[in-house]
Amino acid sequence: MNIFVIGIGLIGGSFVKDVRAKMSAAKIYGIDANAAHVAQALSLGLIDEKATYEDLHLAEFVMVSVPVDVMLQELPKILDKVSDECVVCDAGSTKELLCAALEEHPKRRNFLACHPIAGTEFSGPSAAINGLYHGKTNIICEIEKTAFTLQERALEIFQLLGMRIRYMNPKAHDKHIAYVSHLSHISSFMLGKTVIEKEKNERDIFDMAGSGFESTVRLAKSSPAMWTPIFKQNKENVVETLEEYIQNLSEFKEMLLKDDYEGIYDQMNNTNKIKVILKGMPVSKMVAKEKN
């Protein structure tokens, strides 16, 4: 199978790493606006050949992993170039605007809107790792608008990579992802900003930062070029999540000012349930287990 990856960074590079491990006969072509990324991807063995849009007629599967603002511009051009037998998937963190933009494209049937919930704070071809997608959820939107045979091809590859599939409409996707992904990145960026502004001595930050701070601020290392367009495209949902988050911070501050440590304890204790939710166990089962 001829597989093209457009945008050879962490997401695209990790994808083809695992595809190569699972599909030894696949030929991997790479396209990237950054020539250094293409050269690095070749030297790392992520891709077999560099390519251009003029080669897309050869493609049977295309993974597009570029910033979401670039995605809006480039996906229509990519769909123009592929054959009727090719499926084009994206890995963008926003879906509503993209799906609307492609609604009337003549080759809409060739596009499968995807969002693999996988990544690290690093970027570029050298950040690509094996197994990034194993056990991760891949959210697919508007699958009914993709040709059935092309759906099957994509789902077979996702299954080979060990991904779990979740179906969602684009509007719901953007609303939920604002809470579980976009807000956490904003929190991390702003925590890092607060500490940098307050702690002028960089050595103090290095010496005193514990594992809790390091894990919380990890996402602040993420690429601003990738995340600024995400916040722009999902502005309405992100603002809503920020309003609720700021309200919770204000309430916590008020409890401190009033010496309401019982209230603080209760809020933290209730929030501890998040560890159970993240393990996939309903909170109701956890409560029942605690009572027994």
- Structure-model confidence comparison of residues 80 and 278, the more confident one: 80
- Residue 291 has what pLDDT? 40
Strands 137-141 and 111-116: antiparallel
Q: With cut-offs at 50, 70 and 90, classify the pLDDT of residue 290.
A: very low
Q: Do 80 and 213 lie in a common domain?
A: no
For range 114-127, the mean pLDDT: 88
For range 40-57, the mean pLDDT: 96
Q: Do 137 and 182 lie in a common domain?
A: no
What dihedral do alpha carbons 237, 238, 240, 245 form, nearest 10°?
A: 140
Q: Do 138 and 207 lie in a common domain?
A: no
Q: Do 41 and 182 lie in a common domain?
A: no
For range 265-288, the mean pLDDT: 68
Q: Does position 288 have pLDDT exceeding 60, yes or no?
A: no
Q: Do 77 and 206 lie in a common domain?
A: no
Q: Domain holding 36: CATH number?
A: 3.40.50.720
For range 146-172, the mean pLDDT: 96
- Residue 207 has what pLDDT? 58
- Residue 46 in any domain: the answer is yes
Q: For the purposes of burial, counting CB atoms within 10 Å of the CB of 222, is it exposed (0-12), middle (13-18) or buried (19 or more)?
A: middle
- Domain's final residue, options 136, 168, 200: 168
**Residues 225, 140: Cα–Cα separation, whole Å:** 24
- Residue 278 in any domain: the answer is no
What percentage of the chain reaches a pLDDT higher than 90? 75
Q: Do 52 and 160 lie in a common domain?
A: yes
Q: In whole angstroms, how far apart are CA 121 and each of 34, 47, 49, 61, 66?
A: 19, 22, 27, 27, 15
For range 50-72, the mean pLDDT: 97
Q: Say if CB 114 and CB 2 are below 8 A apart.
A: no
- Residue 285 in any domain: the answer is no
For range 123-142, the mean pLDDT: 94
Q: Do 121 and 94 lie in a common domain?
A: yes
* Domain span at 19: 2-168
- Residue 222 in any domain: the answer is yes
- Domain's final residue, options 140, 168, 196: 168
The 3-state secondary structure of 129-162, one letter per residue = CCCCCCCCEEEEECHHHCCHHHHHHHHHHHHHCC
- Residue 197 has what pLDDT? 76
Rounded to 5°, the CA angle 81-86-90 comes to 85
Q: Which amino acid is at 241?
A: T
- Residue 276 in any domain: the answer is no
Radius of gyration of the chain from Cα atoms? 21
Q: Do 127 and 36 lie in a common domain?
A: yes
- Residue 118 in any domain: the answer is yes
Q: pLDDT tens digits for 177-236?
A: 999 899 999 998 998 888 777 766 566 655 555 566 667 778 888 889 899 999 999 999
What interhelical angle do 224-233 and 183-198 show, nearest 10? Answer: 130
Q: Do 204 and 88 lie in a common domain?
A: no
**Residues 17, 219: Cα–Cα separation, whole Å:** 23
- Residue 200 has what pLDDT? 63
Q: Do 38 and 101 lie in a common domain?
A: yes
Q: Do 6 and 148 lie in a common domain?
A: yes
For range 264-282, the mean pLDDT: 77
Query: What is the count of structural domains for the chain?
Result: 2
**Residues 192, 260: Cα–Cα separation, whole Å:** 28
Q: Domain holding 242: CATH number?
A: 1.10.3660.10
Average pLDDT value over all residues in the chain? 89
Q: Do 17 and 144 lie in a common domain?
A: yes
- Residue 249 in any domain: the answer is yes
Q: pLDDT tens digits for 248-272?
A: 999 999 999 999 999 999 999 988 8
